[in-house]
Amino acid sequence: MSQSPVLEVRGLEKRFGQTLAVNGVSFAVQPGEVFTLLGPSGCGKSTTLRLVAGLERPDAGDVLLNGELISSAATGQHLPPERRHMGMVFQSYAIWPHMTVLDNVRFPLRMRRAGASESRKRVLDILDVVGLTGLESRAATQLSGGQQQRVALARALVHEPALLLLDEPLSNLDAKLREHMRSEIKRLQRRLGIAVLFVTHDQSEAMTLSDRVAVMNLGVVEQLGTPREVYAHPASEFVRDFLGRAVLFEGSVRRDADDYVLTLDGEAGARLRVGSAALPGLADGTRVVVGTRPEDARLLPLDAGVSLEEPNRLRVCVAETAFLGERIEYTLRTPGGKTLVVFGARHEEHPPGTELALVVDTAEASLWPA
Ligand SMILES: Nc1ncnc2c1ncn2[C@@H]1O[C@H](COP(=O)(O)OP(=O)(O)OP(=O)(O)O)[C@@H](O)[C@H]1O
Ligand SMILES: [Mg+2]
């Protein structure tokens, strides 16, 4: 059932002076997929997108669209951007203020010399898709931020591109509108079945929108996988910490059937039981770090019938609480003097000084050598 990818990027490199902005990036975007480049500012996301769009030429590597070579450093081949059959929306969505909505969206068709009546029909269709019907003759400046965003999307989609490139298209919108547009884009993408290469530094945006994510750091893809895979099983410390908080435990392992039992350093014999599949074949006594996410840990009162003798339970003391609106963040101290940060439900706050049992679900835990 292997279908050929819409976009394939092989060993891309781009240098600006001394900066190696993109350093050997390879990935493929499948038909109908939302593929996201996620990473901190300066990691090379926009440069990668611009190489795909043809706005930059690579120093090494190839770009293929539907199996056809459109950029190649080796041969010097370079199809100009306007012939790449891609739609693009930038962070500053750059719609033209002096033009009406209709003319803005019609522009790419003009560039491609499409006929007038055909163009008009396509523009009206795509305006309907993005929910702007009735605003055709408005000047672009008379629109809200969200509406301007939709004009930019309509303009990127009107020539039915093979691939939609989105570079932080939501970062200029306020939080509420951003969330709304996020689900709008997802709905639109499903309806059109179009492949999307999306760029963001916002991990929750990446998680909600993407089928697959490439986590980038310093011009390199550190991990590529589904949002669940990269979140639950980060391949590196960088990925783990970039995608959210981690609750870490350190100790030495002992093999027990298909699991390891990890005796935690300095925690009065407290143990964790974790599956061995993530890091098989460790000799007894090997020191490891176990990483879980804050949502994998629950706080229970000590009198709730919890036996602290069993694995995956730890006696903790509440050091600090912070009210975050939808939940409470707890800073906890372990008997061994370590600090852990987890979340709890808003309606049952445990004040500082309370002794509790921390119950850790290790089903999705990650293991690294210490
Ligand atoms: N035209 C340019 N000239 C010189 N250096 C550049 C140019 N474009 C990008 N860079 C540098 O290349 C690196 C990658 O930049 P890029 O814009 O791809 O990052 P990014 O991941 O998109 O970051 P952000 O999230 O801030 O948009 C940075 O160090 C940047 O300063
Ligand atoms: Mg950028």
CB distance 262 to 252 below 8 Å: yes
Q: Give the helix/strand (H/E) hosting 179.
A: helix 175-192
Return the ligand 1 atom nearest residue 91 CA: 27
The listed range with the strongest mean pLDDT (111-120, 135-144, 231-240, 354-363) is 354-363
CATH top-level class of 7-242: alpha beta
Q: What is the CA radius of gyration of the chain?
A: 25
pLDDT grade for 93, boundaries at 50, 70 and 90: low
DSSP category for residue 168: S
pTM of the model: 0.86
CATH 2.40.50.140 holds for 247-369: yes
Question: Phi and psi dihedrals of 84, rounded to 5?
Answer: -90, -5
Domain residues of the chain, as ranges?
A: 7-242, 247-369
pLDDT > 60? residue 2: no
Nearest CA to ligand 1 atom 24: 41
Residue 123 in contact with ligand 1 by CB distance below 6 A: no
CB distance 312 to 259 below 8 Å: no
Alpha-carbon distances of 74 from 15, 44, 94, 191, 330, rounded to whole Å: 15, 21, 33, 38, 55
Q: 13: which strand partners? A: 23, 60
Nearest CA to ligand 1 atom 17: 46
Q: 58: which strand partners? A: none
CB distance 21 to 15 below 8 Å: yes
Question: Phi and psi dihedrals of 125, rounded to 5?
Answer: -60, -50
> Residue 42 CA: which ligand is closest?
1
Residue 52 in contact with ligand 1 by CB distance below 6 A: no
pLDDT > 50? residue 1: no
| pLDDT per residue as tens digits for the range 150-173 | 899 999 999 889 999 999 988 877
> Residue 21 CA: which ligand is closest?
1
Mutate to test the pocket of ligand 1, among 43, 48, 202 (most ligand atoms within 8 A of CB): 43
Spacing, Cα 46 to ligand 2 middle (Å)? 4
Spacing, Cα 133 to ligand 2 middle (Å)? 31
> Residue 41 CA: which ligand is closest?
1
Residues ≥6 apart with Cβ < 8 Å to 250: 264, 265, 287, 288, 289, 290, 370
